[in-house]
Amino acid sequence: MNSKTLTGIVITLLALASAVGAGESARENRTVNDNPRPLVGVERMTALERLPLLDLDEQINYVGSIDKRGGNADWDWWLYQDEKTKEWAILDVDGPGCLWNFVVHHSVGASDPVYRFYLDGGESPAFEIRHSEFGSKPPFVTPLADRFRPDPRKDGRLVRIDFQILRGFCPVPFAKSCRITSSVKLEGAEHNGGWGHAIYSTYPTAAGVTTFTGREDHSRLLALWRACGKDPKPETGNEAVPFSVKLAGGGTQTVFERRGEGSLAAIVANGAHLTEATLAQLWIRITWDGENAPAVECPLGAFFGNERGRHRVATLMQGTDADGRMYCYWPMPFWRSARIELINRTGAGGPAGGAAIELSGSVMVKPASALAYPRASAGHFRASAYQAPTPIPAMRDSPIASISGRGHMVAGLVSATRSGCEGDVRVHIDGCGSPTIQSDGSESWACYGWGFPYPPQANPSSCYDGTGDGNWSMLRLLMGDRYPFRTGLRMTVEGGRGTRGTWGDVRSGIVFWYGEPEPGMAQTDSLAVGNAESEKAHAYSAPGSTPYNLTSSLEGEFDNVPVTATGRAIGQASEFTVKIAPENRGVLLRRRSDQAKQGQRAAVYIDGQRVKERTWYYADRNGQMRWLEDQFQVPAAYTRGKKELRVRIEPIPCNGANNWNESAYWVWSLGRGITPAGPDSQGPE
């Protein structure tokens, strides 16, 4: 090969690399999508054009300060005390994953806790930071981390204390494990204790996961977050399609339509003249690829993440600029067609003759020649059915969203009338009985606290708009901690006082997500422990186990609904055989157990081979609402091509005690097009 040829090859390769990096081209998206390695940490949070790609191999999880009695005393957050360091563990996770969101409410006037991050089993902390250092100690610097300090002039309780709500969005990946401790026991009365949450993803394997050191380069991510209001995605190849309409009451008009393949990079509108009423009555409808039902249909205010529009608040992907320009930057791929309509619903039911509404703006289109998405593994941008303002049902949560299908949630909006902000946000994923995500209050889910009486507030990942009179709206983006689901997602909010009752709260809301209506897994078996017929059908064996019968409840909305079931406290081990689909992409084991005592851990063996990636570990406890449903993901390497598995569970003591027990197992085979178990499958209801 001569030097001229070699030079040409090098120039070509450099050109290709430049095109891939700058343009996020179709080739790059397909290459990344075909690679089973997940996007983790900073890489995920900066690759915003890849948001439509459906990575369903991960799970989202939380741990936090939930009142174990179902009330509003959410100020206790600790799992156990470390015998060596005497520190208090507030998060303990085994296996590969990434911490995305860390929030703690505490009075620095009482103490200034040190939070230490122990990663991958290390005996020394990989990183430590004081409560008062959030926002200033790299890489937990503003706006990836900060401290919100409520105004003591507006709340007399704050005159005598220095109450600070730290919030961190700095990603912390770990290849083997993560444990966070506090030097102070976050327990007790509201000013001396501490409340909050940690939200993290777990992955079936550590492929592509590089453990956090604190020395990572966050400059690109910080630059994106410091430029709220500007499209954070590459604008190369964008085509602007302007629109201007004047809609009479009851009228509908198409403002954008395109045939063929492409994606929408942005939708912006000039909304400075719109009122709270017009933001509620002017609706947007988006339909993809000729589908019978629209993918998005909701009020314009909700679509832009500012339902009431009382203040101009902005986040990274949705919001309203200071000049009144409303924007939505979520990437929205389509493969055959796209249509956007505006509907004026003024008047009773939106009849003709209502007030006319004018609106102008533009749609930014990116043709497939600039950026193409692989149809097999990307999802459409969608919204749940808009929950109109509705009084909270008696003794139940306010419903916000109910979704069927596979995908991941990327944002949620909740608005309220005559409501406090104490009610927990609860998200149930794939029908799991225990909440997958639960906050210690609505304001905490949005990463504020004691702040709702003092609007407006905004950071790149969340915002709050209101007037301090019980009428408010909040938006939470899930930039790293998106909520993946394979069969569905349900989101509710507890009563505004944080306790069960009939308070007259009125709430509305919506969830934005990427995905498709078809499921991404199917239940292929189930086992009822303590049921002789079911145990025999699954060749269940647990010598030396202790049977139990328990009547209790699950945490969450139905914590006042008793459930009676049998189970076994396991001594040496339990074994059972379950059916799976050979075409699976891994298997999910869901267990029901009694969580009265702190900490349950076990090694899992599949057909005699130990799952080396993690132990099955649940570090928390609840002695009041004792039933727990938790999950263990078995990587595809142990399950692919098999019709059944022999599962062995070997308990491992936690802090000197073996608390492992089991009441039921449900078995899910991961993947599309899998046939569910037949009605003859023996298992729990």
359 token code pair: 């609106």
The enclosing domain of 616 has a CATH number of 2.60.120.260
Least confident of 302-311, 364-373, 414-423, 573-582: 414-423
| Residue with token string 């401790």 | 181
501 token code pair: 């009752």
Neighbouring residues of 93: CB distance < 8 A, sequence distance ≥ 6: 61, 174, 177, 178, 179, 200, 202, 617, 619
Give the tens place of pLDDT for each residue, 252-292.
Answer: 999 999 999 999 999 999 999 999 999 999 999 999 999 99
Residue 593 has pLDDT above 80, yes or no: yes
Q: 220 and 80 share a domain?
A: yes
* Class of residue 63 by CB neighbours under 10 A (exposed 0-12, middle 13-18, buried 19+): buried
pLDDT at 173: 98
41 token code pair: 């940490």
Assigned domain for 515 exists: no
Query: Half-sphere exposure of residue 56, counting CA atoms within 13 Å on the CB side?
Result: 29
Residue 469 has pLDDT above 80, yes or no: no
Count: domains in the chain: 4
Assigned domain for 252 exists: yes
- The Cα–Cα gap between 383 and 403 comes to 9
Q: Where are the alpha helices (DSSP H) in 244-284?
A: 276-281
Neighbouring residues of 684: CB distance < 8 A, sequence distance ≥ 6: 526, 527, 528, 531, 534, 565, 592, 663, 664, 666
The last residue of one of the domains, among 380, 414, 430, is: 380
Percent of the chain with pLDDT over 70: 90
Give the tens place of pLDDT for each residue, 527-554.
Answer: 999 999 999 999 999 999 999 999 999 9
Helix (H) / strand (E) element for 22: namely: helix 3-23
Q: 166 and 124 share a domain?
A: yes
The residues that bridge with 116 in the sheet, in sequence order, are 128, 181
Q: Containing domain of residue 282, as a range?
A: 239-380
Assigned domain for 388 exists: no
Q: 207 and 184 share a domain?
A: yes
- pLDDT band with cut points at 50, 70 and 90 for residue 6: very low
Q: 48 and 18 share a domain?
A: no
Assigned domain for 55 exists: yes
- pLDDT band with cut points at 50, 70 and 90 for residue 148: confident
Assigned domain for 305 exists: yes
Find out whether 563 and 684 touch, Cβ atoms under 8 Å: no
Q: 218 and 307 share a domain?
A: no
Pairing of strands 80-81, 88-94: antiparallel
Give the tens place of pLDDT for each residue, 302-349.
Answer: 999 999 888 999 999 999 998 999 999 999 999 999 999 999 998 644
Give the tens place of pLDDT for each residue, 13-45.
Answer: 333 333 333 333 334 443 335 455 668 999 999
Dihedral sign of CA atoms 590, 594, 600, 601 in order: negative
pLDDT at 16: 34
pTM, rounded to two decimals: 0.93
Percent of the chain with pLDDT over 90: 75
What integer is the mean pLDDT of 592-598? Answer: 97
| Residue with token string 């001396």 | 192
| HEC per residue, 153-168 | HHCHHHCCCCEEEEEE
- The Cα–Cα gap between 630 and 89 comes to 20
Residue 681 has pLDDT above 90, yes or no: no
Of residues 486, 479, 494, the one with CA closest to residue 426: 494
The enclosing domain of 89 has a CATH number of 2.60.120.1390
Neighbouring residues of 292: CB distance < 8 A, sequence distance ≥ 6: none
Find out whether 324 and 304 touch, Cβ atoms under 8 Å: no
Mean pLDDT of the chain: 90
Assigned domain for 591 exists: yes
Q: 205 and 262 share a domain?
A: no
The last residue of one of the domains, among 322, 355, 380, is: 380
Assigned domain for 98 exists: yes
Q: 47 and 151 share a domain?
A: yes
Least confident of 134-148, 252-266, 313-327, 488-502: 488-502
- The Cα–Cα gap between 313 and 326 comes to 10
Residue 435 has pLDDT above 80, yes or no: yes
Dihedral sign of CA atoms 164, 169, 175, 177 in order: positive
- The Cα–Cα gap between 287 and 404 comes to 18
- The Cα–Cα gap between 203 and 172 comes to 14
* Class of residue 136 by CB neighbours under 10 A (exposed 0-12, middle 13-18, buried 19+): middle
- The Cα–Cα gap between 230 and 282 comes to 24
Q: 626 and 647 share a domain?
A: yes
What integer is the mean pLDDT of 668-675? Answer: 94
Q: 157 and 296 share a domain?
A: no
- 3-state SS class at 45: helix
Q: 28 and 58 share a domain?
A: no
Q: 659 and 590 share a domain?
A: yes
The last residue of one of the domains, among 380, 403, 436, is: 380
- 3-state SS class at 42: helix
Residue 188 has pLDDT above 90, yes or no: no
- 3-state SS class at 462: strand
Q: 537 and 640 share a domain?
A: yes
Helix (H) / strand (E) element for 224: namely: helix 219-225
Assigned domain for 429 exists: no
- The Cα–Cα gap between 661 and 459 comes to 43
